Amino acid sequence: MLNADVSDAPHEYRGMNFTVYPAIDVRDGRVVRLRQGDYARETRYDEEPLALARRHAAEGASWLHLVDLDAARTGGYALAPLLQAIKAVTQLCVQTGGGIRNVADIAAILAAGADRVVIGSLAIRDPRRVCDWLQHFGTDRITIALDVRNVDGAWQLPSHGWTEDSGVELEPLLDLFAGHGLRHLLCTDIARDGMLTGPNLDLYQQVLRIVPGVLLQASGGMRSIADVLAARAAGCAGAVLGKALLDGRFELVDALQEAAAC
């Protein structure tokens, strides 16, 4: 069982390149943020998704994290036109997902211009099929997103946009994906997502103990540039920034500069 706390540990990735991923979550065509993955606790923002992507590009971002929240719950990724528009007017690399259900979904999103496809719920419900996709598409074209809740000391993984309990625990799933070449992993502590309470560094250190070669993206709770730098110091290869940027807690350009200077 994976415990909820762990002391600091050395790892392979200190000094590596670190990627800051500004996030755009889209629901009903609008930029939104959810609190703790709860669709009833939504904050909407005035800026249009494409305009926000262009602003992030102008601020110096190299990557964007784009999520179809409607599809995450019901299936049917619908952001291909937005993705194509972003790729047409910026130089951003984009990792994107929401509602991925089959090979055709992945192929279509890659064809629309995605650099990596994010797979969440299906990685929990049908992990062996996703392992096959890692081999088929290549480990650099897929990001596995494992979003966790701590339940009685064990990290468990809900699915379908965090609305359904799966009964699956984190550690054995990580072992399975690592055995099939997992490279890019995004991990969110749902209790911290959208709450601006700081990232769960203990969680990320535990993950890196299990899969020390993975390029881990920290997500959930980021509230300051200091949090971004702490995630890097903990061994993460990147950090996903959502609510803190949208609420103006700090500037993306400053986060990019500070992360690059370390």
Q: Is 147 a catalytic residue?
A: yes
The span from the CA of 61 to the CA of 135, in Å, is: 29
Q: How far is CA 106 from the centre of its chain?
A: 17
Q: Is 132 a catalytic residue?
A: no
Place of tokens 């250190």: 205
Say which of 105, 147, 189, 193 is annotated catalytic.
147
* Residues comprising the chain, all counted: 262
Neighbours of 149 (CB within 10 A): 18
The contacts of residue 165 (CB under 8 Å, 6+ apart) are 156, 158
Question: Judging by beta carbons within 10 Å of its beta carbon (0-12, 13-18, 19+), is residue 255 exposed, middle or buried?
Answer: buried
Question: Judging by beta carbons within 10 Å of its beta carbon (0-12, 13-18, 19+), is residue 181 exposed, middle or buried?
Answer: middle
Say which of 25, 68, 70, 105 is annotated catalytic.
25
What are the residue numbers of the active site?
A: 25, 147
